[in-house]
Amino acid sequence: MFGTVVVGVGIAGLARMRDLMNPLPSSPSEHLKLLGFVSRRSLGNINEAKQISLEDALRSKEIHAAFISTENRSHEETIRMFLEAGKHVLVEYPMALSAKAARELWEMAEQKDKVLHVEHIELLTEEYKQLKKEVAGKDLVKGTLHFTGSVLDENRTGFPAFSGIARLTWLIDLFGDLTVTSATRVKQKDKNYSRMTVHFQTAKE
């Protein structure tokens, strides 16, 4: 069995723990064993999973891989710590807040001979797979993608472009590379309102 730890127990982290504790029959997850989870909050045990400290997770010889599900801004530091400790890493998208940091992490993983996997789980859903079939062979002439949601804490999630960057990968996966032609931002602190509008151009335009 391959010992694992989940770091961060928000929505994504809890989903990871659920899947690790209840793997699908004959799936690769059957070879993974959840040995605990790490959280800044004191949570005790969650079902049969026990809370352990970050230091213990890094030192443990039984833990071979970490599933990182923390806020965007802490991804880079957490990946570095687990790679330095000789662990494989799976991290929720995005891996880091800059391309430079991402390249450094890839190089570090290669030097350590460890797997560093970035997962954008939305691209694996049946709904998305169906969408990809429907647009196969078609060119994007003009379209609008509108995201709504609550205003996020930029200190934890990064600049607004990073808050929604996972969704923007839909467009790249569906229609190829995109070029940013313009971007504007409107922010009204008194109304707790923020909006970013970005215009892209496909390679065929």
Q: pLDDT tens-digit profile of 121-140?
A: 777 778 888 989 998 888 88
Please say if the pLDDT value at position 172 is more than 90: no
pLDDT digits (tens, 9 = 90+) for 101-124: 999 999 999 999 999 999 887 777
Give the model's pLDDT for residue 103. Answer: 95
Are 20 and 4 spatial neighbours (Cβ–Cβ below 8 Å)? yes
Please say if the pLDDT value at position 175 is more than 80: yes
Give the model's pLDDT for residue 102. Answer: 93
pLDDT digits (tens, 9 = 90+) for 10-51: 888 888 898 899 888 888 888 899 999 999 888 888 888 899
Give the model's pLDDT for residue 121. Answer: 74
Contacts 24+ apart (CB under 8 A), 157-162: 157/71, 157/72, 157/73, 158/72, 158/73, 158/97, 159/97, 160/185, 160/194, 160/196, 161/196, 161/198, 162/72, 162/94, 162/97
Give residue 53's pLDDT band: very low, low, confident or very high (50, 70, 90): very high
Residue 54 falls in which region: left (phi positive, over 0), alpha (psi -120 to 50) or beta: alpha
Displacement of CA 125 from its chain's centroid (Å): 15
Tell me the domains of the chain and their CATH numbers: 2-119 (3.40.50.720), 129-202 (3.30.360.10)
Give the model's pLDDT for residue 83. Answer: 98
